[in-house]
Amino acid sequence: MEFASHHSSHSGQSLHDDELRQELRRLLNITQQLLSGHPGAPRHTPELHVPGVSGFLSKLLAEYSTLTEERVGPWAQLVTQFLDAHSRDLPLALLTNSYVTGGQGAGEDEDGVFGLSAVEAARLSGLPLVRRVVLAQLLHAWLGHWGRRAPGGMEEAVGGVVRKVGG
């Protein structure tokens, strides 16, 4: 009896993992649609206007559509380099021209109040789409072919990426 209950909970976990992996794949597919300008994709994604983000996500999804154990090192290096460069390049001046949101000139709204453009807001938000895509790729592999473990010798690289995207 003990084996049967353990076996059924393991089957339930596998089913849950499969459902979660399907949702993660769906997020990655939607991101690919956003990048390709697919007509059914959401249109308002200011983060994709931040310099370098679209190119990075396109490369990440093209080169690492499936995050294999053999490729996790180069993947982690690519992610780390992008996030490090992004954090170094954060703007010093927060008052910007609101060309993305269609505001008045020089970041001034209709009441003469200065604010952030959608691009600057995305920069300062910590790049939520980038973080979601990176974590989706990682979790998809971890729940699937990695067998709920980091590939041998890659624990530090994977942990470094998780720390960077986690905040």
Q: At 161, phi and psi to the nearest 5?
A: -65, -45
Mean pLDDT of 64-82: 94
**Closest by Cα among 140, 150, 155 to 60:** 140
Token duo for residue 136: 């989706």
Span of 88-92, 114-118, 145-149 with lowest mean pLDDT = 114-118
Higher-pLDDT residue of 95 and 118 is: 118
Phi then psi for residue 114, to 5 deg, are -80, 145
Predicted confidence at residue 19, as pLDDT, reads 92
pTM over 0.75: no
Q: Report the pLDDT value the prediction gives residue 42, as an integer from 0 to 100.
A: 64
Report in angstroms the alpha-carbon separations of 147 from 20, 30, 74, 141, 158.
14, 25, 20, 8, 15
